[in-house]
Amino acid sequence: MITLQWLYALAGTMFAAFAILSALDRTNAKRLGNAAFWGLLSFSFFAGDRLGDLGNGILVLGLVGLAGFGALGRGDPPTTSQADRIASSEHRGNRLFLPALIVPATALLGTLFLKESGWVDPKQVTLISLGLGVFLALAVCYAWLRPPLLAPLQEGRRLMDSVGWAAVLPQMLAALGAVFALAGVGEVVGGLAGRVIPDGNLLAAVAAYALGMALFTMIMGNAFAAFPVMTAAIGLPILIRGFGGDPAVVCAIGMLAGFCGTLMTPMAANFNIVPAALLELKDRNGVIKVQVGTALPLLVANLFLIYFLAF
């Protein structure tokens, strides 16, 4: 049976390849720093469950140290020439996007039809199907586009070098949210909210939850990190138990309120800072500034959706 460990091994192999290719890339003055960073990340996928808390903590400190001391750089790996890419684009047009559609299509079909097959872990069927979709898309690209053998790894490394340390920020922030929840931060926030929210005022309680989700997401950079804190503080004890709200509506739309915070914070680097870097925008916060005008009305809309639909 295919389990999640297969995907961990696949990710570990990919980052190991990035580390080796980085070490061999003499166009990057910081190639050894890149090799160490991606090598540590690869090691975490291969052996993270056997390192224990202390070992994983040291590994994370190693990643932070490499990033914090500016040990990461960007190389220029050779793949295909600019002229080849332009010629391929002109010849194939929008059909070049078809391999990218294979990935979500495979994830959807796998989720629908592989759950009861006995071939894959039914609890992880969506993630495993996503990994299968990547393999299928890669095979189609090799057969159709006939790139150099190492082109996918080199281009993947180029992308990850452009993103740099921000590539692992979402995982670290999500882990921070779990730490906050275990440390009882939600209870502390709930106690403070209980003193501020007027007794029996449903609208104020909903507003505190929705705005709190957005604010904590802006601070932590990840709505999944904010969710356990704010749900333990306000969502579960006040909205669901206190006012009898529908848990599905409160939690689902509460997450959407958190995502509004994602649109307005540089802490969500993978959404807001990375695109600015990849597009080489002069203003690194340009993406955030454009999104604020959408995020604020959506936040207000989500607040009232909780108020009218959950009670």
Residues 142 and 188 in one domain: no
Task: Indicate if 287 and 241 belong to the same structural domain.
Answer: yes
Same domain, 204 and 284: yes
Distance from C-alpha of 55 to C-alpha of 10, rounded to nearest angstrom: 22
Give the C-alpha separation, 180 to 255, whole Å.
Answer: 17
In a domain, 88, yes or no: yes
What pLDDT does residue 78 have?
Answer: 78
pLDDT tens sequence across 226-281: 888 888 889 989 999 999 999 999 999 999 999 999 999 988 777 887 777 777 77
CA distance 38 to 163: 12
Domain boundary among 130, 147, 164: 147
Q: How far is the C-alpha of 224 from the C-alpha of 217, rounded, in Å?
A: 8
**Residues 80-110 pLDDT 10s:** 878 888 888 888 888 988 999 999 999 999 9
> What's the domain range around 114?
80-147
pLDDT for 27: 85
Same domain (yes/no): 268, 219? yes
Would you write out the chain's pLDDT as a tens digit for each of its 311 residues?
888 899 999 999 999 999 999 999 988 889 999 999 999 999 999 998 898 889 988 999 999 999 889 999 987 887 887 888 888 888 888 898 899 999 999 999 999 888 888 888 888 899 899 999 999 999 999 999 888 888 899 989 988 888 888 788 777 777 777 777 777 777 777 777 777 888 889 999 999 999 999 998 998 888 888 888 888 889 989 999 999 999 999 999 999 999 999 999 988 777 887 777 777 778 878 889 999 999 999 999 999 999 999 99
Same domain, 290 and 198: yes
Q: Which helix (H) or strand (E) holds 275?
A: helix 269-278
In this structure, are 205 and 125 located in the same domain?
no
Helix (H) / strand (E) containing 274: helix 269-278
257 and 195 in a common domain: yes
According to the model, what pLDDT value does residue 222 have?
80
Q: Do 192 and 264 share a structural domain? A: yes
Residues 190 and 141 in one domain: no
